[in-house]
Amino acid sequence: MRLLHRLAVLAGAAASIAGCGDARTTDSAAGATGNPPASPPDRRGERVAVALIDALERCVVDHRGLLIDLGTTPPLGGHALAGPSTRALPTATHSGATWAQLFEHELRVTFYHAEPSPVFVAVRATADQARRASVAIDDVPLGTLNVPAGPARIVSTQTSRVPLGSGLHELVIRFSGKKGTAPEPYAELDWVRIGVPDELTRTYGAPTVADMLMPAAELGKVPRRALAVRAPTTIACSVRVPPQARLRASVGIRGEGNAKLAVYVRGDLEGRRQLARLEVSGGADSRWADLDVGLADLAGEVGRLELAAEETTGTGRLLVGDPVIVVPERTETPVPRARSAVVVVLNGVERTDLPPWRDTPSPHAPNLRRLADSATVFDAHRAPTTNITGAVATLVSGQSPRIHSVLDTGSRVPKSLVGVGDLARHGSVRASMFTGVPPTFGVFGFEPHWEAFTAYPPNEGRAATAPLDEAALWLTEPSAKPNEDRPMLAVVHLRGGHPPWDITPDEADRLPPKNYTGAVRPRDSAQAVASLGGKFSRLDAPDEERMRSMFFAALHGQDAALGDLVRKLEDAGRWDSTLLIVTGDVASARSTLFADAQPLSEARLTVPLYVRFPGGTQAGQRVARPTEAADLTRTLLLSLGLEPPPDLGGRDLANVAAGADDPERLAVAYVEDAFSARWGRFVLHGRVDDRRPSLCDVMLDPSCRYDRGQELPITAEAFLRRFVQHVDALPAPLAREAVTVDTESAAALKVWGL
């Protein structure tokens, strides 16, 4: 079964939270006994980043072992990387509970085990087609379950003889027997418990969501939406916390007795640390106590936030009311409105060849140098794919390649994809596309989405600057209609450094190396490069030097055309109200020799991004916060006064430049059947039918050669949960449309090297 469906068994995604603080607690949270009156939540100057009750499926509940509540949608607890998706499991309601119906013969669950200990597996189940099920953890048999027919029962294995180590593990429950043709499932399961032996003699009461959640728990006539638990119970949520976040909650006890609540964080490197401890008392006069905990210890890291009911006495149950993680509120900085918006997409470049990222001077790109100084430079911009067609399809639609289905070189943009050109047409904005890059020609599906679409085939002898030259004329020519001054949008796809290069034989002879007699020539180098399979190592040193010199000469000509565009907009009185974006499609020069749809890597996905906002606002900034193609799409639409579609992701780049951050968001790239998801310093990558993808820490291993999933199990589990949340949020994919290449397109693609 494909990984993206397998991963959907995840109970939810990691609660990735903006902000962190100074670990301060209120007096009531610092170990005081008694219940001081709860004040109404004061939310002035802050916003709720995560309401933990609303996001409960992102957490796990440990009560005498991990509980996986299959009767919730989505399930609460562990997650699976293989086997049937529990999110897709049908459910039935009877015997006062909701049951998951298993129509597949096995259920796989990946779970995190915190402390080494022996374990056993118990289920509350009733049999239909199967009466027996084998149980194994990490392929080690644990025993057999005899699942009863008729009324549900709790059945369990023996306790393991060897302690189960801390880290990630896989549980497999496999039902025996062959299911008949009748529609009945193998079995129905209420919950699965990965239990830990203890000395408690009382009957196990599963803390399912239905049992824990109290919509209106009232203490002192103050209602709170609360979670009600008995000790020993821990609610643990995976979190990634930048500065200034705080955990706030109201704590009390329902009934007679006393209770102790502790707040911990647990990380892969730091272990478990206590942040706060609170004692509360029940009875007729019980009141809510305030909990206010700074999360500085998790700043910028991935870990587990644990709310642990460590003791409850008497008849009472500990209440945790309205637990939320809050961050300081910030003022929005929307992108200024534009009369003109221009997106220049460079093909065949890598960021390290352009200012300000190039280590040496950049005489080949003086206008980009000036743009870097006078615009906003985004240092962590990531492409959505290494496929040229797919990258531009995402830029002009804001949709992931998983949605528009342009995942390989044989795909075209679906007719039903709604892009910025379509939205502009319906919003009184004139929008045109000019492309000199064959993978974005009409045969690849781009033409129908624009008021005007012009392609410049490389085999027809037009200059590489032609798309930008004609876009400049189109943007500045007087309107044929009197008094018409509609906003204008131009998307320009340039060859960038990709051959064929506009260099005459005399100009080539003056380029290094001197007295060159090799086979690298300006006009037919694309075919020669393609024959090398995208590997610079196959070039001789003189050939490589000549290729690089022609590459920079070609960039110099297009850089000059960019300067001409700016001057024409200035002369027409439109520059001050222009949004100018210059970016790359995929990184495809030095590392891949212009090859298309290469394997995903951070080097191939990192592309340049310059944004010159209307009025020159936020000029000269360098922004380290991560960005992606959908951010460009949203920024374009907002700047032109167009309403973004409801399913469009992305953020306004003006807000990002002003300081807005969204640590919960992943940047996910796809090509063919592979994916690469980036979350902070970590990358999760693999193929869609991998059983378990690899985890990479790019700060320690930029090439992502080593899988650190077992070394960093808390991070791996948090990332897997977060990734599945991303996948679940995607709209249904469009049907893939294959490219049919005509004679003219075939000639252009041949000269291009495809």
Range with the lowest mean pLDDT among 60-69, 454-463, 724-733? 724-733
Give the rounded distance of the alpha carbon of 452 from its chain centre: 34
SS3 label, residue 89: coil
Which position has the token pair 């342009």?
406
Q: Is the pLDDT of residue 285 over 80?
A: yes
SS3 label, residue 253: strand
Q: Is the pLDDT of residue 15 over 50?
A: no
pLDDT band, very low/low/confident/very high, at 717 (cuts 50, 70, 90) = confident
Rounded Cα gap, residues 551 and 744, in angstroms: 26
**pLDDT for the residue 22:** 33
- Asked if 399 and 424 touch (Cβ cutoff 8 Å), the reply is no
Partner residues linked to 279 by β-bridges: 260
**pLDDT for the residue 174:** 93
Q: Is the pLDDT of residue 38 over 60?
A: no
Listed in order, strand segments (DSSP E) in 211-300 are 213-219, 222-229, 233-241, 246-254, 258-267, 271-281, 289-294
Average pLDDT over residues 667-680: 94
**pLDDT for the residue 505:** 85
- Asked if 584 and 346 touch (Cβ cutoff 8 Å), the reply is yes
Listed in order, strand segments (DSSP E) in 429-486 are 430-435, 452-455
**pLDDT for the residue 407:** 96
pLDDT band, very low/low/confident/very high, at 520 (cuts 50, 70, 90) = confident
**pLDDT for the residue 178:** 66
Rounded Cα gap, residues 445 and 390, in angstroms: 11
Rounded Cα gap, residues 112 and 203, in angstroms: 25
pLDDT band, very low/low/confident/very high, at 373 (cuts 50, 70, 90) = very high
The edge-to-edge listing of strands for the beta sheet with 376-378 is 452-455, 430-435, 488-494, 340-346, 578-584, 609-612, 376-378, 622-623
CA proximity to 301, closest of 725, 712, 721, 727: 712
**pLDDT for the residue 591:** 66
Q: Is the pLDDT of residue 353 over 80?
A: yes
Q: Is the pLDDT of residue 24 over 60?
A: no
**pLDDT for the residue 98:** 85
pLDDT band, very low/low/confident/very high, at 41 (cuts 50, 70, 90) = low
Range with the lowest mean pLDDT among 190-199, 250-259, 457-466, 502-511? 502-511
Q: Is the pLDDT of residue 86 over 60?
A: no
Which has the higher per-residue pLDDT, 479 or 171? Answer: 171
Rounded Cα gap, residues 485 and 553, in angstroms: 37
Q: Is the pLDDT of residue 180 over 70?
A: no
**pLDDT for the residue 181:** 60
**pLDDT for the residue 663:** 79
Average pLDDT over residues 523-548: 75
**pLDDT for the residue 300:** 76
Average pLDDT over residues 570-586: 96
Q: Is the pLDDT of residue 434 over 90?
A: yes
**pLDDT for the residue 87:** 53
Which position has the token pair 């008497």?
314
Average pLDDT over residues 137-147: 93
Average pLDDT over residues 725-741: 88
Q: Is the pLDDT of residue 21 over 50?
A: no
pLDDT band, very low/low/confident/very high, at 26 (cuts 50, 70, 90) = very low
- Looking at residue 148, the DSSP 8-state letter turns out to be P
pLDDT in tens, 238-261: 888 877 889 999 999 999 999 999
Structure token digits, residue 716: 């791996």
pLDDT band, very low/low/confident/very high, at 537 (cuts 50, 70, 90) = low
Domains and CATH numbers, the chain: 16-57+215-328 (2.60.120), 65-195 (2.60.120.260), 344-663 (3.40.720.10)
Q: Is the pLDDT of residue 539 over 50?
A: yes
pLDDT in tens, 602-614: 999 999 999 999 9
Average pLDDT over residues 505-514: 89
Average pLDDT over residues 50-75: 86
Q: Is the pLDDT of residue 511 over 80?
A: yes
Q: Quote the pTM value.
A: 0.87
Which position has the token pair 């000029």?
619
Average pLDDT over residues 163-191: 84
The rounded percent of the chain whose pLDDT value lies above 70 is: 89
Range with the lowest mean pLDDT among 69-78, 383-392, 435-444, 609-618? 69-78
- Asked if 490 and 342 touch (Cβ cutoff 8 Å), the reply is yes
- Asked if 134 and 196 touch (Cβ cutoff 8 Å), the reply is no
Outline where 572-601 has alpha helix (H). Answer: none
Mean pLDDT of the chain: 87
pLDDT band, very low/low/confident/very high, at 83 (cuts 50, 70, 90) = very low
